Structure 1
Amino acid sequence: MPNTILFHRTGLARPQVGAEAAAALLKEHYGLEGHIKELGSQQDRNFRVDTALGRFVLKICRQDYSMAELDAQNAAMRHLAQQPDAPSAPQPVAALNGEEILTVTLGEESYHARLLTYIDGEPLSRRRYLAPDSVRAVGAFCARIALALADFSHPGLERDLQWDLRRAGPVTLHLLASVGEQKRRDDVAKAMIVTMRHINPLIENLRLQPVHHDLTGDNIMGVSDAAGRLVPDAVIDFGDLVNGWLVGDLAVTCAALLHQADGDVFAVLPAIRAFHDLYPLTDAEVRALWPLVVARAAVLVASGEQQLSIDPDNDYVAGNLEHEREIFTLATSIPFSVMEAAIMTALGKDLPDEQPVLGRLLPGIDPLTVNLTDLSTLSPDLIEDDWADAQIDWKLLAKAAADTGVAATRYGECRLSYTRLLSPRMPATFALHVDACLPAGTEAVVPFDCVLKRTSQHFILMAPDLALHIHGLECQLEDGTELQSGAPLGKIAGAEGSVGGLRLQLCRDQDLVPPLFARPDHAHAWRRICLSPSALFGIDLDAPSVRNDRLLASRKRHFASPQKHYYQQPPQIERGYREHLFDMAGRAYLDMVNNVATVGHGHPRLAHAAWRQWSRLNTNSRFHYGAVAEFSERLADLAPEGLDTVFLVNSGSEAVDLAIRLAWAATGKRNIVSLKEAYHGWTVASDAVSTSIADNPRALETRPAWVRPVTAPNSFRGTYRGDASASAYAAEVEKTLAEIDASGEGLAGFIAESLFGNAGGIVLPPGYLDAVYGMIRERGGLCIADEVQVGYGRLGHHFWAFEQQGVVPDIITLAKGMGNGQPLGAVITSKAIADALEQEGYFFSSSGGSPVSSVIGMTVLDIMRDEQLQTNARDVGDFLREKLEDLAAVHPLVGAVHGMGLYLGLELVRDRETLEPATEETAAICERLLDLGVIMQPTGDHLNVLKIKPPLCLTYESASFFASMLDKVLSEGW
């Protein structure tokens, strides 16, 4: 018999009450006056009221909802206030007559009215994305509310409510007529039929208790944590309070979280785990959870469509409908069996692991003759960028079959060939099937008792709880044929003497047409459903498992801890190409920080040059060979006139160390003036002149006496601001020089990056180096330009960064990208300065200037010239800077865009007036960018600047992707 009250309530529009009537009601019954603003609601009228006594919420609903139901909601809010661990909630406010629930006549109708205290905070729904920590906090928050309500009772909890998931089936079917689009109506109907088939057998084992039943982003109020992420703090809107299924309460929350999951269904798992940790779910509840999520999504869509049809001016409903459709699409995008496996795994529950007994499918094939192809990130058969060839899997499979006539791919392998460049989502690379090449005509037999089912493109062997999908086999048997294990099945398709292709996939879920690939981060669930077909071949076809956690643990045990790694949970990067990096899961990342790889990763020309020279000779530079002389000459030709002598070393640190020694030797003095906020290296001397507290928190208090740090010419947040600050900063240098003069110790030199690299790509104020260099040289000191990070074509507009300051140094240090990853550094100076070092003896670097290093250095220069990478750095860098400036115009967190060419810095601040650094936000943004496929790291003394220094081959497309992903993070949250 239809539930007339329930169905009647689904058709109720909001009360016809405006702000003016609400103001009159407040004054008459509560003695309150103030500013009134209407809040959104599906079937009520809610008004925020700002009065001299505080802020309140006036709720007006139809009399179709009983006084007992409303009193239950008020009582629940009071109950929560008395629980020690329960979140805060609004509290009822009595009217002048002492009553908490009024019956009032407004116009021609009577309504119920209540006044509640107002809860401050930001609704979680305001953020388009919630990080895993926030999602986890939501799950724990919901559990705390459920636990607090577990011992609550009230007669008004037994009610007919369209949102009660126990009524989801009939409510949805009743509302389907309001869904205008035929396909959406069919999708909702089919989803509810499948959902009820899963839920009905579990109903008797689902626990009942009072539940809020609307713990969504609209009703959970959040506060920002240190990183600017929202975490739940309070709960509002008890309008759906009911005595219902406990797991249904969690399902409502999970459905809401899908709107903030960025397309990843598994993103809700941290919430489920956190709920379970506080309020453990039973096995029946775990199995019912995802069907109930789908049920909630179906009710949302159907109810929203129906409500809009009867209340077309309801902006709240209209605004929510599109994301409710999105929730439904996402909730139904994954089979119940897979999501159940994912939830069980997340909760640490044991899953059945019985492997089906399978016979050999191809008994005529000797398992020992099966060659396995390697299609992983580490595959030696994938050369340069041929992983991008759409046919590469079959080409390599055929190549592997050339020896024995039989080859197969590996189940569970993350194939690099399925990577996706510039993708914000992890691609599906994890193979849930096996492909094989073998002689056409090879006989196949039935591997287990089954029934054959034909489809348009392949056939399936069906057994209880098991289905084998087969492509590439000629089979004459009719649809529905019952087959016994060992019976003839067919033969590999193809002409006699040719090679045929076979694809096999095992699946436990007979209702599922399984995908061929899964996302690697979802594979733990999918491989429970799609089993390995190894037994069909009689050989282990499973790819070795990738255990990044074990590798990371080994690194931490044996790799000295001061040698840090990027990210808390770093991906295992094993391959690169141009500006892209690839991890073991086949995930591609855009590398926006690797200024070591000047010409890009995996450059074939560079690899060939290195291999060729290694195959001939590699030794030290005391031997005489052509490469060292030629490379030195080419470096000297790149420098300004007069700087014609080159030292070759292994790194930038060694180059800076040597430059300081040269200054000491040439001047006979020791004092070196350096800039604060600077980083120059890790050797004793280069570390001594490094003053960045981000790299060494004790940098300024541990400098040796010969290091004289001066105020950093940071024209954005320094002591003096703007382009006109050069003279003021130069005056600070002059004060330090006067102190050195007074000491009588003399001056050896001055060292500075020509553009403030480690501080965030900050361009020095115009004229600064010219003024400082003049003062240094007046005292007989030498000027050292540290170009390790910022020079060598990276600025685009200039080859050397000091050129944009219009100066010529006495000593240039360089390294980083000059070897594209090969240990290679250099010092360029005048012959007179270089000869001064000989007074202290010979200089020698075992690997500096070796044949291989020299050849690689020259090849890098050749590639830079031939591929016009400096020009690219200028053009793409200017393009990217404009994109970043556009972001600064719309996102208050962006304080400034620094830098030039492809050495840029995006400084993030909490306040553009005080310039309070957004340190925690910057770290969180970098983590979120990693999720979106971008490698990015913070820099600067406050670690609040994104350091943007990608390979110089960065394309416009890649630059646009980076800007787009950054915009996405700043817009949606991190």
Structure 2
Amino acid sequence: MPDSALLQRTELPRPDVSLADARTILGDFYGFHGEIRELGSQQDRNFLIDTGPERFVLKVTRAEYPYEELEAQNLAMIHLRALDLGLDIPEPIATLTGEYIPQCEIADNYYWLRVLTFLDGQPLTKQKFLAEEQVAALGDVTARIALGLRDFKHSGLDRELQWDLRRAGPVALHLLKSVTDQGRRDRIAKAMIMAVKRLQPVAPDLRLHAIHHDITDDNIVARPGAAGRLMPAGVIDFGDVINGWVVADLAVACAALLHHADGDPFFILPAVKAFHARYPLNLAELTALWPLIVARAGVLVASSEQQLSIDPDNEYVLGNAAHEREIFETATSVPHTLMEAAILDAVGLATAPSDTAFVTPLLPDVTPENLRLTDLSVTSPDLTRDDWADQEIDWKLLARAAIETGFSSTRYGEYRLSYTRPLSQQAPATFALHIDMCLPSGTRVVAPFDATLKPTGHHLILASADLALHLDGIDCGLEDGTSLAAGDSIGLVSGAAGGIGGLRIQLCRDTDLIPPLFARPQQSAVWGRLCPSPSRLLGIGIDAPAPQSETLLSRRKKSFAKPQKNYYAHPPQIERGWKEHLFDVKGRAYLDMVNNVSILGHGHPTLAAAVGHQWSLLNTNSRFHYAAVAEFSDRLAALAPEGLDTVFLVNSGSEAVDLALRLAWAHTGKRNVLSLLEAYHGWTVASDAVSTSIADNPRALETRPDWVHAVLSPNTYRGKFRGAGATDGYVAAVADVIAKIDDSGQGLAGFIAESVYGNAGGIPLPEGYLEQVYAMVRARGGVCIADEVQVGYGRLGHHFWGFEQQGVVPDIITTAKGMGNGQPLGAVITKREIADSLEREGYFFSSAGGSPVSCVVGMTVLDIMERENLQANAREVGDYLKARLEALGQRSPLVGAVHGMGLYLGLEFVRNRETLEPATEETAAICDRLLDLGVIMQPTGDHLNVLKIKPPLCLASESADFFAEALEKVLSEGW
């Protein structure tokens, strides 16, 4: 039990020292003068003074705290400063008379004084989100300080301290007297009793030496690192330095992390791993870590309540109270056994639990060969359209599977699509820790091992010394506490006579725990060890195979050409989609905000049926005579302006651009082509030649062939000309290049440009730009090509084609991507005389572009777009989303501009709105954070600092809200 002096100290208010008092102290004792303000503290008074050249912190401590303790704090800082830790540590400053800890009297009260150098930087506490590298860095800093203090000795370290986790239980119980909320008081008391109970067996093996004991997000000084993330650079506040348990230092740091964890206690594991890598902990310390974190959380909450009862105006305590309650809630949200297993797993010390021998099958009358399995995974062929959203779908499919033999079962370890949650910022619990069965009512159920029965209503628990079997759906007449031997009858599967009943089976190695039925994917491995598969009870292996995402990624890298990149460093394995949603193999739903290929959305049943039907009839190349190619060509020509009446069907946008350039050459007999800087048009030799985006090809500007003439990018946001007069400036730049071509006497074949600057982030061209440039090109006999592959086909909402926004009509239109909803399909639409020019060079065909299947796909896409009003949806939802993003830009200084229209938008991030310095690293980190929140997003533009927002045109307003809210969360909390 802590001594009375300690308990009395827990009830002391802060020193009664004003700003005027502090100013006098600093002038009289230290000769410091300057601006002064108070800093927060729980029981001290801290003041920051800025003298101009330097800044210092004045710490005023009540005289009840012994001098030796304060001296130990000063000397600990001096000791660490002498080591090469790679961290900043405050330096104690002496008074004018050479004292380091003088005493002064203010209003008949005596106080100790100390002055320390101030460390520049920011605390991590106000940044709600911390990235994994920040969490790991905090663990590593904690280990470095612990190692640095390992050999530090001082008599002031052996003291009674309310924060000493060796005394957490009795201290918390004392502090609980001030907690007025009975329910909260009981919860804290229960948590503390459980934590102390788990600590007692391992306490003798916990190492002791000098520790900081307060390395928290408040006491870490951080400075911007890569991607603008704050990274730990120094440690302050040595007020709790003590001889204590080494692992307590890590426990304090981990507890502080829990208010950044968004309710997920596994969030601390990178810190644990980093600490252990630098300062290895023994098994007892690793076992003690989570109980110590819970104990720290309990003391924090109880201490805040107690301090506010005696010092209700303490803004520092008031400010911390909410997140301290969040720490406690997260720390007590999971069982100790789970977190102890997770911690061991994180440091590579997890051990496989011993198998329990099952003497008798649970269902002796069920023949394994008669058991039918249901597939409820993401790739299940039995889940169609969106029936996975039906809350009863699991049991419906299970019952359907039981029709043939009367016996069916789900699979343990399956990530069930039926438990996915679209538009959720957290991954839902989808990993099945149990199996469900349909079988005839009255089927016998027997004990598979010796156990004691614990009925709780319809829920039965058979508990042995190290394993519990949980059962639901049994008629059991046995009493609580009945001892059962292996083979003894438990009861019968309930249900009407001759009917089908349901049975739920689950195992758990923690006999005091009622486990969840499902685990979150990130916790599934640890939960799987606590709740092993019950399939052995049935005498058959019916577990779902584990996803092989990492193995598949390795295979992809081995056999798939390296230049064919994938999104994300650690990509989710996506195997299913529905409308604007994508699903990975673990049942995580993502909002697809970048997939302009799937213009209709994913998994459209009408398109799937049309494709399947056509495949069952015919698929061949376009040189055969069949109806679909004529019908689709007519429909495409009808979509184009008058005069553009001839269609080529090809496989892709790159092929369409390549063909358009060939048409320009054939029609004009010239070779020179104008294209825009920062543009992207494709990957074939010709389409790549007119692409100048250095994001897609870092050597683009130095490797263009001599027939390509790149003109100044008409980027009205960050280009050379902005605002009024921008059009004239950019048109004049084109005129200069054309003049040089004129002087060469080689002539001009044409000009190609996206009608909206798609690759740069959907930036509109300057008003009237295309009209003037087209006129100059045509005056020289050249043709004008509108690349509509990304920006056309209804995506802009207000216009079907992007060039309509400029009020022009091109000579050639190229389109692809959305027109096939993912099927390889592109088109060139042009004038008859331009198309016929190609015949001088021979005939043309594209094997898959005009095939029956491709044509049916193209027509079905147009049908669905019309029937579902997708262009109108792009306009309405796109305008709504753009307004939300613009409002977000008013609150976040990182947002430079919102470009585009409809559902082709670009959100540009800059570090400075005046210089427009691109926030490239921040944009990449923001995309990674959005993925964690359930949004697929990627950067674009030459500086890769623009979010390319081009989702399926079926995007619902609720999904637009989800994206905007996720983005606001990232920009406000960090990335």
Q: Tell me, yes or no, whether TM beats 0.5.
A: yes
Matched, 1:97 2:125: no
Instruction: Tell me the distance in 1 between the aligned counterparts of 2:763 and 2:385.
Output: 36
Instruction: Tell me the distance in 2 between the aligned counterparts of 1:542 and 1:353.
Output: 18
Instruction: Tell me the distance in 2 between the aligned counterparts of 1:425 and 1:681.
Output: 36
Instruction: Tell me the distance in 1 between the aligned counterparts of 2:761 and 2:10.
Output: 57
Q: Is the 8 A contact 2:760 2:942 kept in 1?
A: yes
The residue aligned with 1:624 is 625
1:124 positional shift: 1.1
The residue aligned with 1:799 is 800
Letter in 1 for 2:751: F
Instruction: Tell me the distance in 1 between the aligned counterparts of 2:30 and 2:445.
Output: 84
Q: Is the 8 A contact 1:649 1:655 kept in 2?
A: yes
Alignment of 1:716-735 (within 5 A): 716-722=717-723, 724-735=725-736
Matched, 1:421 2:449: no
Secondary structure in 2 matching 1:889: helix
Instruction: Tell me the distance in 1 between the aligned counterparts of 2:384 and 2:47.
Output: 65
Letter in 1 for 2:654: S
Instruction: Tell me the distance in 1 between the aligned counterparts of 2:236 and 2:600.
Output: 56
The residue aligned with 2:72 is 72
Letter in 1 for 2:35: H
Letter in 1 for 2:607: L
The residue aligned with 1:141 is 141
Matched, 1:357 2:357: yes
Q: Is the 8 A contact 2:458 2:474 kept in 1?
A: no
The residue aligned with 1:88 is 88
The residue aligned with 1:780 is 781
The residue aligned with 1:308 is 308
Percent identical among aligned pairs is: 66
Moved more, 49-58 or 272-281: 49-58
The residue aligned with 2:272 is 272
1:928 positional shift: 0.4
Instruction: Tell me the distance in 1 between the aligned counterparts of 2:662 and 2:537.
Output: 69
Instruction: Tell me the distance in 2 between the aligned counterparts of 1:670 and 1:392.
Output: 62
Instruction: Tell me the distance in 2 between the aligned counterparts of 1:842 and 1:244.
Output: 85
Matched, 1:590 2:591: yes
Instruction: Tell me the distance in 2 between the aligned counterparts of 1:600 and 1:722.
Output: 37
The residue aligned with 2:258 is 258
Secondary structure in 2 matching 1:812: strand
Letter in 2 for 1:905: G
The residue aligned with 2:829 is 828
C-alpha offsets along residues 422-452 of structure 1, whole Å, 9 cap, x if unaligned?
0000000000001000111111111110100
Matched, 1:541 2:556: no
Letter in 1 for 2:325: R
Letter in 2 for 1:147: L
Could you tell me which runs of 5 or more consecutive residues in structure 1 were left unpaired when the two chains were aligned. Answer: none
Letter in 2 for 1:718: G
1:826 positional shift: 0.1
The residue aligned with 1:32 is 32
Note closer, same or farther for the CA distance 1:216–1:442 as it changes in structure 2 (3 Å cut): same
Secondary structure in 1 matching 2:227: coil
1:495 positional shift: 1.5
Alignment of 1:216-235 (within 5 A): 216-235=216-235
Q: Is the 8 A contact 2:2 2:171 kept in 1?
A: no
Instruction: Tell me the distance in 1 between the aligned counterparts of 2:901 and 2:772.
Output: 22
Matched, 1:518 2:519: yes
Instruction: Tell me the distance in 2 between the aligned counterparts of 1:348 and 1:724.
Output: 64
Alignment of 1:546-945 (within 5 A): 546-722=547-723, 724-945=725-946
Letter in 1 for 2:173: L
Letter in 1 for 2:872: T
Note closer, same or farther for the CA distance 1:564–1:783 as it changes in structure 2 (3 Å cut): same
C-alpha offsets along residues 260-309 of structure 1, whole Å, 9 cap, x if unaligned?
11221111100000000000010000110000000000000000011011
Note closer, same or farther for the CA distance 1:457–1:179 as it changes in structure 2 (3 Å cut): farther
1:812 positional shift: 0.2
- Structure 1 moving runs of 4+ over 2 Å: none
Instruction: Tell me the distance in 1 between the aligned counterparts of 2:706 and 2:462.
Output: 81
Note closer, same or farther for the CA distance 1:226–1:2 as it changes in structure 2 (3 Å cut): closer
Instruction: Tell me the distance in 1 between the aligned counterparts of 2:903 and 2:531.
Output: 46
The residue aligned with 1:434 is 435
Q: Is the 8 A contact 2:458 2:473 kept in 1?
A: no
1:353 positional shift: 2.4
Secondary structure in 2 matching 1:125: coil
1:510 positional shift: 1.3
The residue aligned with 2:214 is 214
Secondary structure in 1 matching 2:404: helix
1:613 positional shift: 0.6
C-alpha offsets along residues 478-498 of structure 1, whole Å, 9 cap, x if unaligned?
111011101111111011211
The residue aligned with 1:155 is 155
Secondary structure in 1 matching 2:200: helix
Q: Is the 8 A contact 1:68 1:156 kept in 2?
A: yes
C-alpha offsets along residues 791-826 of structure 1, whole Å, 9 cap, x if unaligned?
000000000000000100000000000000000000
Q: Is the 8 A contact 1:648 1:849 kept in 2?
A: yes
Secondary structure in 1 matching 2:80: helix
Instruction: Tell me the distance in 1 between the aligned counterparts of 2:554 and 2:905.
Output: 34
1:558 positional shift: 0.4
Instruction: Tell me the distance in 1 between the aligned counterparts of 2:346 and 2:906.
Output: 39
The residue aligned with 1:127 is 127
- TM-score normalised according to structure 2 size: 0.99
Instruction: Tell me the distance in 2 between the aligned counterparts of 1:695 and 1:331.
Output: 46
Instruction: Tell me the distance in 1 between the aligned counterparts of 2:370 and 2:273.
Output: 46
Instruction: Tell me the distance in 1 between the aligned counterparts of 2:513 and 2:533.
Output: 16
Matched, 1:492 2:493: yes
Q: Is the 8 A contact 1:430 1:523 kept in 2?
A: yes
Could you tell me which runs of 5 or more consecutive residues in structure 2 were left unpaired when the two chains were aligned. Answer: none
The residue aligned with 2:338 is 338
1:180 positional shift: 1.6
Q: Is the 8 A contact 2:648 2:829 kept in 1?
A: yes
Letter in 2 for 1:423: S
1:457 positional shift: 3.1
Instruction: Tell me the distance in 2 between the aligned counterparts of 1:86 and 1:178.
Output: 42
The residue aligned with 1:457 is 458
Secondary structure in 2 matching 1:29: helix
The residue aligned with 2:204 is 204
Instruction: Tell me the distance in 2 between the aligned counterparts of 1:152 and 1:87.
Output: 17
Q: Is the 8 A contact 2:919 2:945 kept in 1?
A: yes
Letter in 2 for 1:727: D
C-alpha offsets along residues 766-809 of structure 1, whole Å, 9 cap, x if unaligned?
11111111111111110000000000000000000000001000
1:52 positional shift: 3.6
Letter in 1 for 2:90: P
Letter in 1 for 2:602: H
Instruction: Tell me the distance in 2 between the aligned counterparts of 1:676 and 1:97.
Output: 69
The residue aligned with 2:287 is 287
Instruction: Tell me the distance in 1 between the aligned counterparts of 2:53 and 2:746.
Output: 71
Secondary structure in 2 matching 1:798: coil
Secondary structure in 1 matching 2:414: coil
C-alpha offsets along residues 153-187 of structure 1, whole Å, 9 cap, x if unaligned?
11100111100101100010001121121111111
Q: Is the 8 A contact 1:724 1:765 kept in 2?
A: no
1:527 positional shift: 0.7
Instruction: Tell me the distance in 1 between the aligned counterparts of 2:330 and 2:596.
Output: 39
Q: Is the 8 A contact 2:460 2:471 kept in 1?
A: yes
Instruction: Tell me the distance in 2 between the aligned counterparts of 1:833 and 1:590.
Output: 42
C-alpha offsets along residues 27-77 of structure 1, whole Å, 9 cap, x if unaligned?
111111110010000000000000144100000010111110000000000
Instruction: Tell me the distance in 2 between the aligned counterparts of 1:860 and 1:40.
Output: 62
Instruction: Tell me the distance in 2 between the aligned counterparts of 1:640 and 1:239.
Output: 77
| RMSD of equivalent CA atoms | 0.8
C-alpha offsets along residues 914-938 of structure 1, whole Å, 9 cap, x if unaligned?
1110000000000000000000000
Instruction: Tell me the distance in 2 between the aligned counterparts of 1:58 and 1:724.
Output: 58
Instruction: Tell me the distance in 1 between the aligned counterparts of 2:548 and 2:352.
Output: 23
Q: Is the 8 A contact 2:2 2:160 kept in 1?
A: no
Q: Is the 8 A contact 1:80 1:87 kept in 2?
A: no
The residue aligned with 1:172 is 172
Q: Is the 8 A contact 1:86 1:148 kept in 2?
A: no
1:350 positional shift: 3.5
1:755 positional shift: 0.3
Q: Report the number of matched residues.
A: 974
